[in-house]
Structure 1
Amino acid sequence: MAPRVFLAAIALAAVSACAPQVPDSGQGVGFDNSFEAQQQRDAALSGGQTRLPDTVVPPTPGSAEATAAETTRILAETRPATLDNPGISNENDFDAVAERQTIESDAERIANNRAQYEVVQPEALPTRPGDEQPNIVAFALSTSHPKGQSVYARAGFGGESRAARNCAAYASPDLAQIDFLARGGPTRDRKGLDPDGDGYACTWDPAPFRKASEG
């Protein structure tokens, strides 16, 4: 019996010696979890010794990062100038104007400007050569009866034929009316230009002038 127990003990010892050694999983593989190592890591982190990479890889063109970077650049370049722009003129600087001007100074400046006003009285227009002739526009507006309505007495026979001959000498009805008024018309008709006595020589009609004055 004793020899068998002795042989079993030797066999168990041999098996234990051949079994692989399993490391302590608490420490992890390649890590030192001792108290001193943990203190060193905490000190390195709290002391700001974390080092960033020496080079920064630019964002990929077309990516969200590239678009954001380009937008930031454009906004920075196109941002409007602030109110304290040193290039603003003194007249456009509200603070500078407020320091120079007051309500009293504004009132004084306005009074000085008004004192320099000069009122020019209207004068009559000078008479030009040839302005002595009758104004057919004013005559048309001074009348109200229509063309062909007899108002003035006319004497003599053959008035229509005489008027036709004499009216042919004028380049236009307006010139005929001007000459008719210059010779005493409309009450007198020395050249027979108004045989029906309406006060309008030849084919002259005051209606267009009246219509134009009404707008």
Structure 2
Amino acid sequence: MRYLLCGVALMGLAGCEPSIPDSGAGVGFGSYSDFQRQQAQREAALAGDVLPAPLAVSEESLEPSRTGVSGTVPSGTQPLSATREGALGQPETEAESIAAATAAALNSGEKPVDANPSNPAPVQMNHPGISSENDFNTVSAQRSIESDAERLAQNRAQYEVVQPTAVPTRTGASGPNIVEYALRTDNPMGNKLYKRSPLNTDARAARNCAAYASPDLAQTDFLKRGGPKRDRRGLDPDGDGYACSWDPRPFRKASGG
């Protein structure tokens, strides 16, 4: 009886034990032999495809989402050849070739300059923006100290010294000269020298003086009408000989008086 119970217990434990997987199957791949067969088929398929040459350029237009420009090669550019060398003489990829063609189209059809050691050296400008007269190297190559001294002597020989002369006397009936009048008189402003009518009030002088654009014009007309002795328009009510507050002092200071 004891042996029978032990046998039943062993059979129950054997029924609960999980089944052992097939050792030929790969984890996650099913059968390992199937995985190897699929891998061999994939490699054979890849080896059998005819891939384009590394330097070949596809004739298909690129999508705008990939290039950022229109799908076709921009107009005005040369067709892309099968191979193209970029900077440093290395072959370009398809995207680089399209980008170079696009840049040429945006540059008025001119191909952008690639940084390449084989490119000719750029032309160096000698002080751009400076004329040859201001360029020391250019001037020193064309002139010398001796030639400059000779030119200076020639210029000095052509100098003409003009001696000052007296101001000529004005001739003709050109009217009164207020400058001459200012230099000829010396009485201060407000110092009465001439008799005036009681009708020549300050109010009348203010009204009549307003008709002139400046005191100089008023003084000129005042002298022209018989001043300073006469004052027919009432321009000099205080009788100092100066109409409409005309001031002779600037003319006297200019002459040193």
Is the TM-score greater than 0.5?
no
| TM bracket (short chain) | 0.3 to 0.5
Q: Could you say which structure has the greater relative contact order, defined with CA pairs below 8 angstroms and 6 or more residues apart?
A: 1
Tell me which structure has the larger Cα radius of gyration.
1
TM-score of the pair, normalised by structure 2 = 0.33
